[in-house]
Amino acid sequence: MSHDISASAGPSLKTGFGRWKLLGLGLILPAGILVLWQILGQMGYISDLLFPTPLEILKAFVGLVQSGDLWDHFRISAVRALAGFALGGGLGLLFGLLVGLFAKAEKMLDPTLQMIRMIPSLAVVPLFILWFGIGEESKILLIAKGAFFPLYINTYLGIRNVDNKWFEVTRVLGYSRIQQIRRLVIPAALPNILLGTRLSIGLSWLGLVVAELIASTSGVGYMMSDARQFADTPVVFVGIIVFAAAGLITDYVVRLAERRLLR
Amino acid sequence: MAETLLDITALSKNFDTAKGRVEALHKVDLNIREGEFITVIGPSGCGKSTLLRIIAGLDGQYSGTITLGGQKITGPGIDKGFIFQEHRLFPWLTVEKNIAADLSLRDPEIRRKVDDLIELVKLGGFEKAYPKELSGGMAQRVAIARALLRNPRVLLLDEPFGALDAFTRAHMQDVLLDIWRRNQTTMIFVTHDIDEAVFLANRVVILKPRPGQIKSIVPIDLPYPRKKTTSSFQELRLRVLKLLDSMNELELTDGAGI
């Protein structure tokens, strides 16, 4: 995650030729690895079971797409990740706003929330399964727990970091308390809120994988753990690639929104 | 003479710091008339910014009385425009939206006033620009327009041109005088630049530090537009300089920032 953020914070790439050249530069290493991997695999230097060649993975991918299995699993996974993110991220934003805006809410809620934050997600998995079974609830709640904190903390920090000098301006301009929140606090905290959103989405995918690998009968994570049991390694790789792509795409969407909202 | 707009009587203000109580202002009396241009000058620590912030209603807990148009000042509000040393524009808003701030540009009345003000501060063509695209002088002009849109009874300026280079500063002084002539807004302008103080004001208020007190008030009876090179200007400038020098403040240097 932190990688993507530092990349977006840096100076934007120039358009046109330079951009493609840089993209090509970035592709040299992965493309080289893929070619080497393919050659070594075909020559029998690396285990086909542990490292199926890129072409085999591609074949498995095409097969899964054609049978419709991949889409079915992916749809289920995406809905889970999205629902968990909506629940956890939404609450994170709400509590972040409350705690950031009202000192009383901070005193009342923040210590408890920080305590919950310190509990590793994996540690609550057995409890969630006991409480909610292995149905959708436990998965979505697990994802939500992960997605809650980045948005919560970043919203809270964003609001707290609004410089007092801006508040002086709004006082001199005669803003009401509501106007202060709507026209100063929210726009000023927006960069942090969007950063929190990106981190939350990343953690949603992470939580999804954990949830689906542990106990599930559907979804990309299940597809992977099922394939592992049958030593169908190419499918495991397909799952990894699908998760990576989904994470990248959702992150890119938020970054697009970021670019539109922050100028 | 016009009637009194701002009446300050026996104004004192203390700050509690780690080293104990500091008297920032001690029994300041000042009477400012409607439409007057006052500059306040003094060495650092003389309480000139504090005085301005109290008038603005940004700092409370003082003793003495301040009335604006007969009304006691209870807090900040749009009747007292305030220009800070930094422009303090909202970076996420365009020039015109910064000027409008909480008022809607869809209101034709506001739209017209904002357009007039953009004209007044000579920023035509920059309506849709963002603050980071503006120079320091331009941004400060937007801040002035933002304050003027609210028709303040008094405009309080806290070293507004202090961060600008000498040429931009001179230009901004002309712009401000132009605004003052047209709108006849009462101005209270804090500065540490003697030339600026004499160039702009009807009266220069000289403060002395520890505790902040009015040392003297120098009326500047020169007609506008003024020229800094005339001998009558230089005479008055020298008078202010001597008054400041007599405070025996080492930091105070001719026209330079402290």
* Interface residue B84 vs chain A (CB under 8 A): yes
Confirm whether B111 is domain-assigned: no
Q: With an 8 Å Cβ cutoff, are B90 and A166 in contact?
A: yes
Into how many domains does chain A fold? 2
Greater confidence (B83 vs B12) lies with B83
Report yes or no on B207 lying in a domain: yes
A188 contact residues in B (CB cutoff 8 A): 92
Other CB atoms within a 10 A radius of the CB of residue A83 amount to 17
Average pLDDT over residues A92-120: 90
A66 with A180, same domain?
Answer: yes
> Looking at the structure, do residues A186 and A90 belong to the same domain, yes or no?
yes
Is the predicted pLDDT of residue A6 greater than 50, yes or no? no
User: 């939404």: which residue's tokens?
Assistant: A90
pLDDT at residue A68 is higher than 50: yes
* DSSP annotation of B132: G
- The pLDDT assigned to A2 comes to 39
More confident residue, B104 or A220: A220
Higher pLDDT, B25 or B253: B25
CB under 8 Å to A127, separation ≥6 — which residues? none
Residue B211: predicted pLDDT: 83
Residue B112 belongs to some domain of the structure: no
How close A188 comes to chain B (CA, Å)?
8
| Tokens describing residue B120 | 């007044």
- Which of A171, A187, A263 shows the shortest C-beta gap to B58? A171
Domain range for A252 is 54-261
Q: What is the pLDDT of residue B83?
A: 93
Residue A250 tokens read as: 């959702």
- What pLDDT does residue A10 have? 43
Evaluate whether residue B135 is within a structural domain: no
B14, two tokens? 């203390």
Distance from C-alpha of B204 to C-alpha of B188, rounded to nearest angstrom: 10
Say yes or no: A75 and A41 in one domain. no
Residues 6+ apart with CB under 8 A from B50: B13, B24, B25, B59, B212
Chain A environment of B77 (Cβ under 8 Å): 172, 174
Residues A27 and A64 occupy one common structural domain: no
Can you tell me the mean pLDDT for A216-222? Answer: 87
Judged against a pLDDT cut of 90, whether residue B37 lies above it is answered with: yes
pLDDT above 70 (res A163): yes
pLDDT in the model for residue A84: 93
- pLDDT-derived band at B248 (thresholds 50, 70, 90) equals low
The Cα B234–Cα B217 span in angstroms is 17
A263/B101 CB distance under 8 A: no
Q: Tokens representing B144?
A: 């002035």
Least confident of A18-22, A47-51, B141-145, B238-242: A18-22
On the question of pLDDT at A136 being above 90, the answer is no
- A80 and A121 part of one domain: yes
Tell whether pTM > 0.90. Answer: no
Encode pLDDT of B187-242 as tens digits: 999 998 999 999 999 999 999 887 888 888 888 888 888 888 898 889 999 998 88
Q: What angle do CA B93, B97, B103 make, to 5 degrees?
A: 130
Residue B12 makes CB contacts below 8 A (sequence gap 6+) with B23, B25, B26, B27, B28, B62, B63, B64, B211
DSSP-assigned states of every residue in chain A: -HHHHHHHHSPPPPSTHHHHHHHHHHHHHHHHHHHHHHHHHHTTSS-TTTS--HHHHHHHHHHHHHHSHHHHHHHHHHHHHHHHHHHHHHHHHHHHHHHHH-HHHHHHHHHHHHHHHTS-HHHHHHHHHHHHTTSHHHHHHHHHHHHHHHHHHHHHHHHHTS-HHHHHHHHHTT--HHHIIIIIIHHHHHHHHHHHHHHHHHHHHHHHHHHHHHS-SSSHHHHHHHHHHTT-HHHHHHHHHHHHHHHHHHHHHHHHHHHHH--
From A230's Cα to the closest Cα of chain B, the distance in A is 55
Distance from CA of B93 to the nearest CA of A (A): 9
Any CB–CB contact under 8 A between B80 and chain A?
Answer: yes
Quote the pLDDT of residue B256: 43
CA dist B209 and A21 (Å) reads 63
Give domain status of residue B91, yes or no.
Answer: no
pLDDT at B74: 85
Stretch B26-42: mean pLDDT: 91
CB contact under 8 A, B84 and A262: no
Q: Report CB contact under 8 Å: A184, B90.
A: yes
- Mutation to test the B interface, candidates A167, A172, A182, most B Cβ within 10 Å: A172
Q: Return residues 50-89 of A near B (CB < 8 Å).
A: none
- Domain co-membership, A19 together with A129: no
The whole-number pLDDT of residue A193 equals 93
- Indicate whether A64 and A142 sit together in one domain: yes
Best residue in A164, A173, A180 to probe B by mutation, most B CBs within 10 Å? A173
Q: Specify if B8 maps to a domain.
A: yes
At B190, give phi and psi (nearest 5°): -90, 135
Chain B neighbors of A171, CB-CB under 8 A:
57-58, 75-76
- DSSP-derived secondary structure letter, B220: -
pLDDT at res. B246? 80
Residues in chain A: 263
* A76 & A29 share domain: no
| Residue A262 sits at the chain B interface (C-beta within 8 Å) | yes
Q: Which of A29-43, B91-105, B110-124, B244-258 has the lowest mean pLDDT?
A: B244-258
Judged by average pLDDT, the poorest of A53-67, B4-18, B28-42 is B4-18
Q: Does B74 touch chain A (CB under 8 A)?
A: no
CB atoms within 10 A of CB A224: 22
User: Do A58 and A42 belong together in one domain?
Assistant: no
Q: Which residues of A touch B80 (CB under 8 A)?
A: 172
Number of domains in chain B: 1
Q: Count of CB atoms within 10 A of residue A202's CB?
A: 23
Tally A–B CB contacts below 8 A: 50
* Extended beta strands in chain B, E state: 4-17, 20-33, 37-41, 63-68, 71-72, 80-83, 154-158, 186-191, 203-208, 213-219
Shared-domain flag, residues A40 and A62: no
pLDDT in tens, B137-194: 899 999 989 998 988 989 999 999 988 888 888 888 998 998 898 888 999 999 989 9
Find the helix or strand (DSSP H, E) in which B121 lies. none
Q: Are A52 and A241 in contact (CB under 8 A)?
A: no
The reply to whether residue A168 touches residue B58, judged by beta carbons under 8 angstroms, is yes
Percentage of residues in chain A having pLDDT higher than 90:
34
Q: Do B81 and A172 touch (CB under 8 A)?
A: yes
Residue B77 has what pLDDT?
85
By the CB < 8 Å criterion, does A166 face chain B? Answer: yes
- Contact between B67 and B73 under an 8 Å Cβ cutoff? The reply is yes
CATH of the domain at B224: 3.40.50.300
| Percent of all residues in chain B with a pLDDT value above 90, rounded to a whole number | 23
Give percent above pLDDT 70 in chain A: 93
Is any Cβ of chain A less than 8 angstroms from the Cβ of B92? yes
Adjacency order of strands within the sheet including B80-83: B80-83, B154-158, B186-191, B37-41, B203-208, B213-219
> Contacts of residue A163 in chain B, CB cutoff 8 Å?
none
Q: Mean pLDDT over residues A46-74, rounded?
A: 88
Reported as type and span, the H/E element at residue B183 is helix B166-183
Closest-CA distance, B101 to chain A, in angstroms, reads 8
- Is B237 a member of any domain? yes
pLDDT digits (tens, 9 = 90+) for A234-259: 999 999 999 999 989 998 998 888 88
Q: What's the burial of A119, exposed, middle or buried (CB within 10 Å: 0-12/13-18/19+)? A: exposed
Of the pLDDT bands very low, low, confident and very high (cuts 50, 70, 90), residue B1 is: low
**Calpha distance A164→A235 (Å, rounded):** 55
Domain encompassing residue B14: 4-84+153-161+171-255
Q: Cβ separation of B92 and A168 shorter than 8 Å?
A: no
Same domain, A118 and A222: yes
Closest of B83, B62, B78 to residue B11, by C-alpha: B62
Burial of residue B234 (number of CB atoms within 10 Å: 0-12, 13-18, 19+): middle
Q: How far is CA A36 from CA A27, A30, A33, A48, B86, in A?
A: 14, 10, 5, 14, 58
Burial of B214 (0-12, 13-18, 19+ CB in 10 A): buried
Chain A environment of B130 (Cβ under 8 Å): 263
pLDDT of residue A45: 86
Residue B52 belongs to a domain: yes
Query: Is B132 in the A-facing interface, judged by CB distances under 8 Å?
Result: no
Choose among A169, A187, A262: nearest Cβ to B88: A169
pLDDT in tens, B40-86: 998 887 888 889 999 998 888 888 889 888 888 888 888 899 999 99
The tens digit of pLDDT for each residue in A197-215 reads 999 999 999 889 888 887 7
Among A15-29, B78-92, B115-129, whose mean pLDDT is lowest? A15-29
A219 and A150: one domain? yes
